[in-house]
Homo-oligomer: A and B are copies of this chain.
Amino acid sequence: MKASSTKGGAANKSSSRSGRRGGGNKRQDTRPAAVDPTARLGAPPKAPFKGLRVVALGGIGEIGRNMTVFEHQGKLLIVDCGVLFPEDQQPGVDLILPDFRHIEDRMDDVEAVVLTHGHEDHIGAIPFLLRLRPDLPVVGSRFTLALVAAKCREHRQRPNLVEVVEGQRTEHGPFECEYFAVNHSIPDAIAVAIRTDAGVVLHTGDIKLDQLPLDGRLTDLAGFSRLGDEGVDLFLVDSTNAEVPGFVTPEREIGGVLDNVIGKARQRVIVASFASHVHRIQQVVDVAHRYNRRVAFVGRSMVRNMQIAQDLGYLSVPDGLVVDIDTAANLPDDRLVLISTGSQGEPLSALSRMARGEHRQINIRANDLVVLASSLIPGNENSVFAVVNGLAKRGATVVTQQSAKVHVSGHASAGELLYLYNAVRPTNAMPVHGEWRHLRANAALAKATGVPEERIVLAEDGVVVDMVDGLAEIVGQVPVGHVYVDGLSVGDVGDSTLSDRLVLGEGGFIAINVVIDDHTGRAVSTPEVSGRGFSDDPTALKDAAQLVEAELLRLATEGINDAHRIAQAIRRVVGRWVADKYRRRPMIVPTVIAVPSAEGK
């Protein structure tokens, strides 16, 4: 699997991902780790046999593709293996995987991969990891593994699943894992404590502290406190909402808002949310039932996940409440709630197609009520507002989290993170799951609760952290880049391809085709100059063609008959012409083909 290089990678992406360098502190240094992120780190020393090594291959310095590798006594344990969704700077890419280079030659040393919950940014890369080792034990809670199983089926894989439940302990080589219930925006999420001879690590995964969770399954703060009494040497903490002051509103309060919004509605109601947010959907289902409306699930992942959730008892639906979309079409408007995918404006999702008037079964009408019971993930604004505008244009009333409290976050705000630090009282803290702005904010919270600044490790993907004698520090870094999935193949699209795509996407290309005689090197036809993505004006390239002809004559008179040099000359001439005349920078693609021509004879 080929990974894009660190440096090239940085050049090609927003600095929210550009950093692949960690901090540079030595133990005697009392400043926080990574205080000088521009300091290049060297290759790490051999992993200390008695120590614990931590390397994140994804999820630090970025939000997504979470994957942390723990190493102890020559063995490896992986926590999470997710994907990242591409940004504008990664055109044509479907998914971004963690960079497996650090472990791919050592897959036999991997004892297991532990999954904290079933979101794509924590499980999405599992099928790709299993390609390296199909029998790798995949450890997780019931709902998480159900989603993993469904995903692996699509990849024709039969993973070796090990189901665990909070409170349980499992051994994986030198790693003893203990699992704690946590709440998040998906059921059955867990945190994992990892006990080794080198010390105790606690990894929160994604976490919040809803004190009135819909399923009554509290984040096990008491368990964290007991672990804190025992002593936690290293605490890896979700940073996503560290910048947000205060506390996340309990999920169940959304029920009241939905009751108000849907209860008052006389028209058809369409609710869009995340297909994995079972508790959110549960509340929509309950409200629909209360107001004598049937429910139809719309969108492939929504239908699939809600079936799984019902089968496993995470979603309870009264008999006969759910109807299929065709039946729904025949129900009166005020007897129906459609629950759809597409809350992030994904162009192919059900809701986007409705907004464009392209959905096969559902035709948005004036007075439809559409509720976006979801967050607006940064970067998705354009697509989400495009959907909202499309719906508004068709006369629908659109309710979003801006106009009503129909969404709460799944990640702990600053106030909750303080509870976590005070319960765990870690020796070393390591913010994870965040961009730099989130990591810094989380570090400030750790410090505020008394974690010494020099014991707060601000790392990044690829940065190697060793914990020896209970002290964690950055010792080097391993190369990590972005591994792109584009269509069927993984890794063959790298940074040079992406930078070409960016150039082509900005300015198109101008192709110049010249055929020369393989003996004389003289052109045996007039050069063909064509452009795509350059101009709608068919005459735009006329003068360029003349310039090329003139240049070919000049080269001929100078006796230059080498195809490569001719191509270079053409590129130079056309490049200068287009810069002067248009101030544009299309890709210039000269092709010079030498053939045995009539003239040559």
Contact indicator B386/A16 (Cβ below 8 Å): yes
Contact residue among B403, B497, B498, B537 (Cβ-Cβ distance under 8 Å from A243): B403
Q: Which residues of B contact A556 (CB under 8 A)?
A: none
Contact indicator B440/A515 (Cβ below 8 Å): no
Contact indicator A388/B501 (Cβ below 8 Å): no
Tell me if A225 counts as interface (CB < 8 A to partner B). Answer: no
Among residues of B, the one whose C-beta sits closest to the C-beta of A21 is: B393
A534–B511 Cα distance when bound, in Å, is 16
Q: A383, A488, A532, A540: which has the most chain B beta carbons within 10 Å?
A: A532
Q: A36, A356, A533: which has the most chain B beta carbons within 10 Å?
A: A533
Shortest Cβ gap from A345 to chain B (Å): 9
Contact residue among B385, B435, B500 (Cβ-Cβ distance under 8 Å from A532): B500
A488-B581, A597-B596 given; A15·B386 CB < 8 A: yes
Tell me if A408 counts as interface (CB < 8 A to partner B). Answer: no
Contact indicator B19/A393 (Cβ below 8 Å): yes
Contact indicator B494/A589 (Cβ below 8 Å): no
Shortest Cβ gap from A438 to chain B (Å): 9
Considering the complex, which residues of chain A in the window 526-551 have a beta carbon less than 8 Å from any beta carbon of chain B?
A: 528, 530, 532-537, 540
Contact indicator A486/B584 (Cβ below 8 Å): yes
Q: Which residues of B contact A506 (CB under 8 A)?
A: 91-92, 501, 505
A571-601 to B contact mask, C-beta < 8 Å, 1/0? 0000000000111100101010111111111
Shortest Cβ gap from A274 to chain B (Å): 19
Contact indicator B536/A492 (Cβ below 8 Å): yes
Tell me if A226 counts as interface (CB < 8 A to partner B). Answer: no
Q: Which residues of B contact A398 (CB under 8 A)?
A: 437
Considering the complex, which residues of chain A in the window 381-408 have a beta carbon less than 8 Å from any beta carbon of chain B?
A: 381-383, 385-390, 392-395, 398, 402-403
A79-92 to B contact mask, C-beta < 8 Å, 1/0? 00000000110011
Q: Which residues of B contact A385 (CB under 8 A)?
A: 14, 16, 378, 435, 437
A157-188 to B contact mask, C-beta < 8 Å, 1/0? 00000000000000000000000000000000
A488-B583, A601-B601 given; A497·B437 CB < 8 A: no
Contact indicator B584/A92 (Cβ below 8 Å): yes
Tell me if A508 counts as interface (CB < 8 A to partner B). Answer: yes
Which 4 A-B pairs give the minimum distances between C-beta atoms? A505-B505, A487-B583, A504-B504, A14-B386
What are 17 A-B contacts with C-beta separation under 8 Å? A14-B382, A15-B387, A16-B386, A36-B366, A91-B505, A381-B381, A392-B440, A398-B437, A487-B583, A487-B584, A489-B535, A495-B536, A497-B534, A524-B595, A530-B591, A595-B595, A597-B597
